[in-house]
Structure 1
Amino acid sequence: MSRRRRVYAGRLAAGYGIRLTLAHLTAAAAVLAIIVALSRNTIGDARQLLTATNLTAFIVLVTASATVDGVVGAVGMRPVFKWFAEGAAPAPDQQRAALRIPVRQTAVEFGVWVVSGAVFMVLNINARGGVAYVIGGAILFGAMTTACIGYLITARTLRPIISAAMAGATGKVSMPGAFGRLVYVWVLFTAVPAAGIAVIVLARTHGWFLHRSAPIETPILVMVAVSLLLGLGATLLCARSISDPIREVVVAMREVGQGRTDVAVAVYEPSEIGRLQTGFNTMVAGLAERERLRELFGRYVGVDVARHALQTQPSLHGDVREVAVLYVDLIGSTAMAASRDPDEVAQILNDFFQIVVTTVEQCDGLINKFQGDAVLAVFGAPLHLEDPAAAALAAARTVAPRLRTLPETDFGIGVTFGAVFAGTVGAENRYEYTVIGDPVNEAARLADRAKESTGRVLCSTTALHHAATAERDRWRPCGTVLLRGRSAPTEMAEPAD
């Protein structure tokens, strides 16, 4: 793995440790402020809380607990950071370990505070009940605050690692979702401080652990300040843990709406937020697969037919309509197949078909089918055209000089106009869009006849009569012929230029 990846992982680990330490120190400062505000009015030997011994013990405990918190977090993270820094695929146990990091770190932080609080209580074991109440309540609040903020910091900072682990996660590990996080932040920084203020008021009223004459304005103001400051930080972290993934999904949805189907969002939470991210990626993958099938479908049956099939109820249906039919047939393909390698013959046919397909689509026609070395194109179905006859005649005039650029190939082109059945035929589990009618046969016979003409292009005068004057003027009559398989003669025309 590149050095850049290792540097990035190292910075991620360092930033993670610094943020956890700051969260721990912030909670400790809040606890100290609460203890100082309450201790002056506590019943019993409350002055013990402000002795040099207790202040020294508090500093030592805070430093030690912050160090233990960081060390335990670093030791627990080492295997995770190792495979992440190396860019390796994590093993199942490494995946589960990575996904459990936020919950495990939260438990460690809460446990460190509880142990520190127990040590502080032992140091003040001779003090009466008021001191114990103050210490216990403040330590519990500090533990809950550190655990909450630490969890939000862990979940946010380690998103790249959790995302990499969730790419192939095998274990079922869950995290609190949006509802749980919002409720916890509200309870910790609104309900708990409000309850603390209520307890202070009741304690002074009944003389539980505060003097009845003790001023409580300062402790209440401290509780409000702690609630506002810590609550603001926790609320911002909680809000961003919800808004960030939603914003990423919204941005990705905008890209999908613009036609991109190669977008994906990172999945970094085993919660309903993660399920939203996973569901979006699954949806986009389905859209990409559908688009690929649509493109493939369009390549086989034509874009217009594919769009028509997707917009209508799949069934065996069709109708009779007047269309123009263009038939292009390659001359000498049988001899070519006997004298050339198969791949060379395929290349010649592909070049031939490419010219015909491009020209027909430029003239708004539909390639109905490839028949060996021939192409059948329809103008006017399934999509309506204002002048299908003129479009087919223009395509015939345009494709002929283009086909002459192909080496060692010859062809015949026939165009006619008439009523056909246009629709899907086949069985319920296998459809084919086609046109059926005498104009199809007539166009094929004209293409055979055109192989013997100078310009290699012939049309029926029926097609000319249904074309606009501008296109009709570009053709000239060239006689009448009784085409094979037909009972009535066909009047023909060829390009005038």
Structure 2
Amino acid sequence: MPRRPLHELHRRLGSRYPRLAVLLVIAQGHAVVAIAIGVLARYVSLSTGEWLALLAVTQGFTLVENLVVTRVAWRELRAVGAWHAQPEDPGRAIVAWRAVTRLPLRLVGADAALRTVGWAVLTILIICLVAGLPAVPSGLALGLAGTVVLSGGVLIRYLELELVLRPVVEALAPQLPDDAYLDQTLSLRWRILVAVPLITVVAGGIVAGFSADDTSLPSFGLGVAVALLVSGTIALGLAALLARSVVAPLRALQETTEAVATGDLDQRAPVLAGDEVGRLARSFNIALEGLRERERLHEALDAYVDPVVAERLLDEGPRLEGELREVTVAFIDIRGFTAFAEQASAQDVFALLNEFYGIVVPVIERYGGSANQFQGDGLLAVFGAPVALADHADAAVTASIEVARVVRQRFGRRLQVGIGVNSGPVVAGTLGGGNRVTFTVIGDAVNTASRVEAITRQTGDVVLFTEETRRRLRRDHGTVSGRPPAPVRGKRTPVRLHAPLLAGRVEDPLPEIEGQLGRLAAERRAAGAPEPGEAEHAAAAAASDAPGTAVADGRADAAGERAPVDDAGATSRR
């Protein structure tokens, strides 16, 4: 049958197509049996009534067998009907695909073959009884003829079932996941080893039946036996050679694709001939080269862009629409970098920055963060974008403490950092114009983190995080020292700060915290900004208890004086 008309019928009939197509293929068994009875009339002499009775009996046997087979087919095709009812359901599509692909083998498999052989033996016995033929040699001759008929019928039914169900399989295939389990069907090797000999045997039997001058059953049986033996033997050898020449290149291509699926892109499919399989291997190698180029591009993007952002850019295109996200931002800055840069060569500065970022960025990524921007001696790390994190505040604080530790271990007093951490809503997406864009986050939370980092230079803390971050903490981060609310440029209300003592403090002597904060407050008053009242400080202090976090609070009055606390300004939570 032509391929396109079947697809058109499937489009027109929809859910009715599979059952109608299978029913038409099954019904062809009646025509095969009728032709076999017509051929038998050449060798067996019966009256017209006896031939009609024999035809009715054999057609009755065929009808019973076809009803059994149809019942099996209908049961399997229920899955296709369920998929047609909800075509968007991938689970139903998988079940339907499996049912359709295994149906041809189910309808000609062992159960069907045993039933068909039983009907054939019964038919031969009836013919021998009606015609008065001996079991040997006439019965054996009829058995050989029946073998030819059954072989041809099985082959035709299997091939036609695969053909008529192809439109259904192709409609289901797009919804089949790449990792879906595939039921075992008849392999290509066995298709060749079975189909080629069967075709040869059927053709040889037909030729032997119609070319013999002697119309006696023994002569017919002998001719069929010789044809079956010769054609079957030769065909089987040729089929084995054909299977090897076709299957071996396909197996090599399969092994290559499996290696590529595991990530080994250095493979190359062997092009063993200029036929369809060789052209397929060549096309695969061309596609594989495209994968290598994509992988090289991916590696280059990963070096310049966050790996998650790079993946999204490759999948979604060069522009990522801005999304409102709840994140925690950590701004990391190297202290005293300007003075160092003035005294060192450009090469030394470059080498130091690369060494510094080489140990800092892996820590950020280890805790789910993204190194969003490198700003000379500063780094903006984002937790919660582009990948959402439920515990972004905990991840940012933990990563900041770890950064402080690894920097202290690597550089000692040679290089010190300040880290400001803040949480809040931002817009995350690509920003830029023309052909130059960058993925970034924009919002007040980012600006505040930068200003908080600047305050670490005054307080002497390595890490400071805001009250907004503290409210979002879910885990214990050791002893946390509360800092007096600090005025932040651009904000009317002072920001309450906290310092995790695990991050330590700078070793260089710095002015007292109170004096520095007092100086910041004085600068704020000189700029005309209102000074916070005592009630604001009390409200901020009341909000400072976070689950799993020990907080020691130091309050500053309007003049910047602080109530006495212990040397670290902290208490431990037991």
Deviation at 1:400, TM superposition (A): 0.4
Deviation at 1:313, TM superposition (A): 6.3
Looking at structure 1, the residues matched to 441 and 282 of structure 2 have their Cα atoms a distance apart, in angstroms, of: 45
Looking at structure 2, the residues matched to 188 and 495 of structure 1 have their Cα atoms a distance apart, in angstroms, of: 82
Deviation at 1:343, TM superposition (A): 3.6
Looking at structure 2, the residues matched to 223 and 399 of structure 1 have their Cα atoms a distance apart, in angstroms, of: 84
Deviation at 1:423, TM superposition (A): 1.6
Partner secondary structure for residue 370 of structure 1: strand
2:252 to 248, 253, 263: 248
Whether 2:485 is the aligned partner of 1:490: answer no
Looking at structure 1, the residues matched to 468 and 204 of structure 2 have their Cα atoms a distance apart, in angstroms, of: 92
1:336 aligned residue: 340
List per-residue Cα deviations over 1:371-427 (Å, max 9, x = no partner): 112110111122221122222111111110111123321221111112222122223
Deviation at 1:447, TM superposition (A): 1.8
Looking at structure 1, the residues matched to 319 and 310 of structure 2 have their Cα atoms a distance apart, in angstroms, of: 14
Instruction: Please tell me the residue identity of whatever aligns with 1:443.
Output: A
1:266 to 261, 265, 270: 270
Instruction: Please tell me the residue identity of whatever aligns with 1:494.
Output: A
Partner secondary structure for residue 410 of structure 2: coil
Is the 2:198–2:232 contact (alpha carbons within 8 Å) kept by the matching residues of 1?
Answer: no
Looking at structure 2, the residues matched to 432 and 394 of structure 1 have their Cα atoms a distance apart, in angstroms, of: 27
Instruction: Please tell me the residue identity of whatever aligns with 1:339.
Output: Q
List per-residue Cα deviations over 1:222-278 (Å, max 9, x = no partner): 766543333322221111111111122223223333333332221111111101111
Looking at structure 1, the residues matched to 265 and 475 of structure 2 have their Cα atoms a distance apart, in angstroms, of: 46
1:320 aligned residue: 324
1:447 to 441, 448, 453: 453
Partner secondary structure for residue 422 of structure 1: strand
Is the 2:329–2:422 contact (alpha carbons within 8 Å) kept by the matching residues of 1?
Answer: yes
Partner secondary structure for residue 389 of structure 2: coil
Partner secondary structure for residue 420 of structure 1: strand
Looking at structure 1, the residues matched to 199 and 259 of structure 2 have their Cα atoms a distance apart, in angstroms, of: 39
Partner secondary structure for residue 446 of structure 1: helix
Change (3 A) 1:324 1:219: closer
Deviation at 1:297, TM superposition (A): 2.2
Change (3 A) 1:372 1:222: same
2:417 aligned residue: 411
Change (3 A) 1:225 1:445: same
1:358 aligned residue: 362
Q: Kindly report which structure 2 residues correspond to 1:56-205, keeping only aligned pairs within 5 A, or say none.
A: 201=212
Partner secondary structure for residue 423 of structure 1: strand
Change (3 A) 1:395 1:313: same
Partner secondary structure for residue 447 of structure 1: helix
Query: Root-mean-square deviation (CA), in Å?
Result: 3.5
Whether 2:482 is the aligned partner of 1:480: answer no
1:281 aligned residue: 285
Looking at structure 1, the residues matched to 471 and 200 of structure 2 have their Cα atoms a distance apart, in angstroms, of: 86
Is the 2:209–2:220 contact (alpha carbons within 8 Å) kept by the matching residues of 1?
Answer: no
2:469 aligned residue: 463
Looking at structure 1, the residues matched to 252 and 316 of structure 2 have their Cα atoms a distance apart, in angstroms, of: 35
Instruction: Please tell me the residue identity of whatever aligns with 1:451.
Output: R
Is the 1:316–1:431 contact (alpha carbons within 8 Å) kept by the matching residues of 2?
Answer: no
Instruction: Please tell me the residue identity of whatever aligns with 1:464.
Output: R
1:385 to 383, 386, 389: 389
Any stretches of 5+ residues in structure 2 without a counterpart? 1-188, 503-574
Partner secondary structure for residue 383 of structure 1: coil
List per-residue Cα deviations over 1:42-95 (Å, max 9, x = no partner): xxxxxxxxxxxxxxxxxxxxxxxxxxxxxxxxxxxxxxxxxxxxxxxxxxxxxx
Is the 1:308–1:382 contact (alpha carbons within 8 Å) kept by the matching residues of 2?
Answer: no
Is the 1:320–1:422 contact (alpha carbons within 8 Å) kept by the matching residues of 2?
Answer: yes
Any stretches of 5+ residues in structure 1 without a counterpart? 1-177, 206-214
List per-residue Cα deviations over 1:26-50 (Å, max 9, x = no partner): xxxxxxxxxxxxxxxxxxxxxxxxx
1:123 aligned residue: none
2:431 to 422, 425, 431: 425
1:301 to 305, 311, 328: 305
Looking at structure 2, the residues matched to 188 and 311 of structure 1 have their Cα atoms a distance apart, in angstroms, of: 50
Partner secondary structure for residue 367 of structure 1: strand
Partner secondary structure for residue 413 of structure 1: strand
1:370 aligned residue: 374
Is the 1:411–1:451 contact (alpha carbons within 8 Å) kept by the matching residues of 2?
Answer: no
Instruction: Please tell me the residue identity of whatever aligns with 1:423.
Output: G
Deviation at 1:218, TM superposition (A): 8.9
Q: Which moved more, 1:283-292 or 1:370-379?
A: 283-292
Whether 2:351 is the aligned partner of 1:347: answer yes
* Fraction of identical pairs, as percent: 35
Is the 1:317–1:425 contact (alpha carbons within 8 Å) kept by the matching residues of 2?
Answer: no
Looking at structure 2, the residues matched to 390 and 221 of structure 1 have their Cα atoms a distance apart, in angstroms, of: 83
Instruction: Please tell me the residue identity of whatever aligns with 1:325.
Output: V
Change (3 A) 1:225 1:415: same
Deviation at 1:306, TM superposition (A): 2.8
Looking at structure 2, the residues matched to 409 and 304 of structure 1 have their Cα atoms a distance apart, in angstroms, of: 30
Looking at structure 2, the residues matched to 416 and 431 of structure 1 have their Cα atoms a distance apart, in angstroms, of: 25
Q: TM-score when scaled to structure 1?
A: 0.54
Deviation at 1:198, TM superposition (A): 8.3
Looking at structure 1, the residues matched to 403 and 305 of structure 2 have their Cα atoms a distance apart, in angstroms, of: 21
Instruction: Please tell me the residue identity of whatever aligns with 2:416.
Output: D
Deviation at 1:324, TM superposition (A): 0.9
Partner secondary structure for residue 386 of structure 2: coil
Instruction: Please tell me the residue identity of whatever aligns with 1:410.
Output: Q
Is the 1:415–1:443 contact (alpha carbons within 8 Å) kept by the matching residues of 2?
Answer: yes
Is the 1:316–1:426 contact (alpha carbons within 8 Å) kept by the matching residues of 2?
Answer: no
Partner secondary structure for residue 420 of structure 2: strand
Q: Which has the higher contact order (CA 8 A, sep 6+)?
A: 1
Partner secondary structure for residue 476 of structure 2: helix
Looking at structure 2, the residues matched to 187 and 343 of structure 1 have their Cα atoms a distance apart, in angstroms, of: 79
Deviation at 1:311, TM superposition (A): 5.1
Instruction: Please tell me the residue identity of whatever aligns with 1:257.
Output: A
1:238 aligned residue: 242
